[in-house]
Structure 1
């Protein structure tokens, strides 16, 4: 029995900030962002568009009635949780109309937890082959205005339907994970924005990749020539490029290096326009690769490196199945082009607006553009979500 991803959906905000405008406002050379980070634009969310609305929008784009009746687990991976107790997946389960006898949970470990969600989903399908598991990575990467991390913000959600006999890709049993107790990026409960040791985090990302890749090679007796492509967690694309170069063995044939670099460029196409989406960044890269590469074919093996600060990382691989291209879109770039361009002033107003509750725990919001779902209001400290007709 093969188990893997049957469908993939994506949603991001309806507002976009060009990096050239941010560079000008911050008195920076635009090439610092376009080349130094390999970012061209950032998705910016208003207060009515959060991890719930993004997650539900991403999943709605791929689910049909049969899916809603057979899904028996919903896993939401995020580090932008809206509640310290109630799982965001419970809201998503209701908004999507999934049958009631399903387990709904939320997972956290910085940007890594979506990979843990897929691992859990795989084990569940092994036990119950007829079931389907919806794994969603949804996050809003938010830092302070004019902070060192401001240029690596973003927002979005990736929804993945895991099943037996998948129509996009199958998982291989080759996962290698590593844990390190480090303080490279963290956000205590009392802070709305994270604390970041940027240079240290970059070094840890690259060293975790190097050491986990070495262990993966030892266990699997393989090298990069066995892969058609390699996808990476994408806090910003330039870091992932450094990662690829770090594991690229000099003894590899030039044809292998060219293949990997060309497919890497395809894997960052969407992230260049969206920015960092934390738990979903790796899988946005995977989706971008699948929808933009002109060379992938059924049977191709793709490597994936997942990293979450703190830190947990994992390397594993998947294989494309016959007909995978029929399950993808070839017009997603149009969605990104149709976002509303905003100024830096508008970005600062939108991105940092927070709910102002009255003494009874109520709040209303202005009418902002969102995807298929939106946060309508807060009443008695309860968040009320609605879908658009």
Structure 2
């Protein structure tokens, strides 16, 4: 039985800043951002927009009444949780109108959480072929104004519906996992922003890819020639390219060039969005299959997932015949094009605005789904534009 991705979609907030503007404001050569880390724009969120609102905008357009009746599991992968106890998936389950007899939970392991959710979903569907599982990766990446990590911020969500007989990508049984207890990136309880050892983080990311790739080749008896493309977790677009070049440095130049061409297609959207944390790999997958020029049915796509701390996983899927009909390139490009460009002053003002859950207050946001009220520490969401 084939199990995999039947539907997928992404959403990013309707505001962004230009990285050249940010570079000038921080007295940095713009090439450091646009070439050095490979970012052109960065998504910016308002305080009335959180992982629930992003998840709703990503998931709701995908789901039919039939889907809502068949989904018996809702999984949210995030490292931007809004509650130390209650899972965001429980709130998402209600807002979407999923049938009540479902399992809903949240997974945390830095940027790896959504991949764990997809693998859990795959196993569940294999045992329950008639069910469907909604997996959502939703995050807000923040490091602080004028911090070293500021140019690698971003926000948004990716929603994936996992089913039997999927119409986009069938997942193969070839996963290679790696766990290492390393402090390259972490956020202790009570800290507003993460702690980052940038040099170590880059080193661990690249070495993790090399390890799981080499083990994949040994265990599954494959080479680069067996993959039409490889998608990477993309904290910034130059990072995945570094790992690709390091992992395939001994391959023929033609193989490197072929994979690099597909990689460039996979970062089209990320260059305009920034870091989605748990959603970054899957934004890259959407970008690849919506922008690639030579992919065909049954092509194998490799996926490298990485979560600092550190957990890595390499796995793959095969494109399903007619997958192009399930995509939404025009809608995704329209979403990105319609965003409001902020000045750096406007961005900094938004960045400093924060919701105090201990203060009862109502809010007004133009988004279809947004935080409408804080009452007795509970977030209440606007559920429609009516």
TM-score (norm: length of structure 1)? 0.97
Please report how far the alpha carbon of residue 9 of structure 1 lies from its aligned counterpart in structure 2 after TM superposition: 1.0
Please report how far the alpha carbon of residue 72 of structure 1 lies from its aligned counterpart in structure 2 after TM superposition: 0.4
Structure 2 residues not aligned, in runs of 5+: none
Q: State the match for 1:27 in structure 2.
A: 27
2:68 pairs with 1:72: no
2:274 pairs with 1:275: yes
Could you report, residue by residue, the CA deviation over 1:73-108 in whole angstroms, capped at 9, with x for unpaired residues? 000000000001000001111111111111100000
Q: 2:245·2:256 contact (CA, 8 Å) conserved in 1?
A: no
**Paired residues, number:** 384
Q: Give the 3-state SS of the residue equivalent to 1:219 in structure 2.
A: helix
Q: State the match for 1:260 in structure 2.
A: 259
Task: Report matched runs for 1:283-322 at 5 Å.
Answer: 283-322=282-321
Q: 1:81·1:88 contact (CA, 8 Å) conserved in 2?
A: yes
For residue 368 of structure 1, the aligned residue among 343, 349, 365 is: 365
Q: 2:357·2:378 contact (CA, 8 Å) conserved in 1?
A: no
Mark the CA change 1:61 to 1:351 in structure 2 (over 3 Å): closer, same or farther. Answer: farther
Please report how far the alpha carbon of residue 234 of structure 1 lies from its aligned counterpart in structure 2 after TM superposition: 0.3
Please report how far the alpha carbon of residue 364 of structure 1 lies from its aligned counterpart in structure 2 after TM superposition: 2.9
Q: 2:235·2:275 contact (CA, 8 Å) conserved in 1?
A: yes
Instruction: Give the Cα separation in 2 of the matches to 1:15 and 1:104.
Output: 30
Could you report, residue by residue, the CA deviation over 1:324-370 in whole angstroms, capped at 9, with x for unpaired residues? 00000121222101101101111111123111355xx41333x3343
Instruction: Give the Cα separation in 1 of the matches to 2:383 and 2:296.
Output: 37
Please report how far the alpha carbon of residue 253 of structure 1 lies from its aligned counterpart in structure 2 after TM superposition: 5.6
Q: Give the 3-state SS of the residue equivalent to 2:211 in structure 1.
A: helix
Task: Report matched runs for 1:239-254 at 5 Å.
Answer: 239-252=239-252, 254=254
Q: 1:355·1:363 contact (CA, 8 Å) conserved in 2?
A: no
Q: Give the 3-state SS of the residue equivalent to 2:264 in structure 1.
A: helix
Q: Give the 3-state SS of the residue equivalent to 1:61 in structure 2.
A: helix
2:364 pairs with 1:347: no
Could you report, residue by residue, the CA deviation over 1:269-305 in whole angstroms, capped at 9, with x for unpaired residues? 0000000000000000000001000111100000010
Mark the CA change 1:369 to 1:32 in structure 2 (over 3 Å): closer, same or farther. Answer: farther
TM-score (norm: length of structure 2)? 0.98
Q: State the match for 1:89 in structure 2.
A: 89
Please report how far the alpha carbon of residue 138 of structure 1 lies from its aligned counterpart in structure 2 after TM superposition: 0.2
2:217 pairs with 1:217: yes
Instruction: Give the Cα separation in 2 of the matches to 1:25 and 1:106.
Output: 37
Q: 2:110·2:309 contact (CA, 8 Å) conserved in 1?
A: yes
Please report how far the alpha carbon of residue 177 of structure 1 lies from its aligned counterpart in structure 2 after TM superposition: 0.4
Q: 1:184·1:310 contact (CA, 8 Å) conserved in 2?
A: yes
Instruction: Give the Cα separation in 1 of the matches to 2:309 and 2:251.
Output: 33
Instruction: Give the Cα separation in 1 of the matches to 2:115 and 2:93.
Output: 20
Instruction: Give the Cα separation in 2 of the matches to 1:281 and 1:113.
Output: 11
2:187 pairs with 1:187: yes
Mark the CA change 1:326 to 1:357 in structure 2 (over 3 Å): closer, same or farther. Answer: closer
RMSD: 1.1
Instruction: Give the Cα separation in 1 of the matches to 2:344 and 2:72.
Output: 43
Please report how far the alpha carbon of residue 144 of structure 1 lies from its aligned counterpart in structure 2 after TM superposition: 1.0
Q: 1:225·1:252 contact (CA, 8 Å) conserved in 2?
A: no
Mark the CA change 1:126 to 1:236 in structure 2 (over 3 Å): closer, same or farther. Answer: same
Q: 1:74·1:133 contact (CA, 8 Å) conserved in 2?
A: yes
Please report how far the alpha carbon of residue 250 of structure 1 lies from its aligned counterpart in structure 2 after TM superposition: 3.2
2:107 pairs with 1:107: yes
Instruction: Give the Cα separation in 1 of the matches to 2:182 and 2:353.
Output: 31
Q: 2:176·2:314 contact (CA, 8 Å) conserved in 1?
A: yes
